[in-house]
């Protein structure tokens, strides 16, 4: 006589999962808002001649150019797809690198600031929400960029980057 259970069935954890009590779920995204983000992506790709190599699942991005022998330039980015203020800001930050001229501003930490300035100004001009979290992300990114420049022995920090010098860092007079 078979009961349908084996010894192993008693030793294995149950495959049934209890429903987790969810924290307050975020409100569903407005389709109209997502349509605005979708239109922004299409416009930025057309205006700046960009190709998106990959939509990232993380909140990080990168922008670069490939110069071909025939003289053409491919402008590429990777970033999260805009679905809210943070991913929109990161997407526009990467577009901003191309808009201001990739590698045209020295030092690199200043290029980062200008790309963030361009991204946030574009968000505000178009009526996208620039949240406190977005501002904090910008500040964290700029502190990191300045610290990286300092580690790489930058000789002079541009005056507009002084607010993002990490606490406790002492610079030698130039």
pLDDT tens-place string over residues 116-131? 999 999 999 999 999 9
pLDDT at position 1 over 60:
no
Residue 142: name the closest of 171, 168, 163, 170 by CA.
Answer: 163
pLDDT at 65: 96
Checking if the pLDDT of 3 tops 60, the result is no
Q: What percent of the chain lies above the pLDDT cut of 70?
A: 81
pLDDT of 168 = 78
Please, what sign has the CA dihedral across residues 76, 81, 85, 86?
A: negative
More confident residue, 27 or 59: 59
Q: Where are the alpha helices (DSSP H) in the chain?
A: 7-11, 31-48, 85-100, 108-125, 132-151
Select the more confidently predicted residue: 84 or 172: 84
pLDDT in tens, 132-167: 999 999 999 999 999 999 999 998 899 999 999 988
In the block, which residue shows the tokens 């501002």? 135
In the three-class reduction of DSSP (H, G, I as helix; E, B as strand; rest coil), residue 56 is classed as strand
Question: Is 60 exceeded by the pLDDT of residue 22?
Answer: no
Estimate the share of the chain in helix, then strand, then coil, as percent rounded to the nearest 5.
50, 10, 40
Question: CA 71, 50, 86: angle at the middle one, nearest 5?
Answer: 150
CA distance 99 to 57: 24
Check pLDDT > 90 for residue 41: yes
Percentage, residues of the chain above pLDDT 90: 75
- When pLDDT is cut at 50, 70 and 90, the band that residue 172 belongs to is low
The two three-digit tokens of residue 63, written as one number? 């922008």
- pTM, rounded to two decimals: 0.81
Q: What is the mean pLDDT of residues 61-78?
A: 96
Q: What is the mean pLDDT of residues 103-119?
A: 96
Q: What pLDDT is recorded for position 173? A: 53
């Amino acid at each position: 006589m078979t009961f349908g259970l084996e010894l192993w069935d008693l030793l294995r954890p149950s495959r049934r999962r209890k429903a987790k009590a969810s924290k307050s779920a975020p409100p569903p995204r407005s389709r109209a808002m997502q349509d605005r983000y979708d239109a922004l992506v299409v416009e930025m790709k057309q205006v700046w001649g960009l190709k998106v190599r990959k939509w990232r699942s993380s909140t990080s991005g990168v922008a670069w150019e490939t110069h071909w022998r025939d003289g053409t330039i491919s402008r590429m980015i990777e970033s999260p797809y805009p679905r809210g203020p943070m991913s929109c800001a990161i997407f526009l930050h990467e577009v901003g690198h191309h808009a201001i001229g990739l590698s045209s501003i020295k030092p690199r930490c200043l290029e980062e600031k200008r790309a963030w300035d361009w991204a946030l100004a574009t968000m505000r001009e178009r009526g996208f929400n620039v949240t406190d979290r977005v501002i904090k992300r910008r500040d964290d990114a700029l502190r990191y960029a300045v610290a990286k420049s300092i580690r790489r022995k930058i000789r002079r920090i541009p005056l507009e980057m002084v607010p993002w010098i990490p606490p406790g860092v002492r610079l030698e007079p130039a």
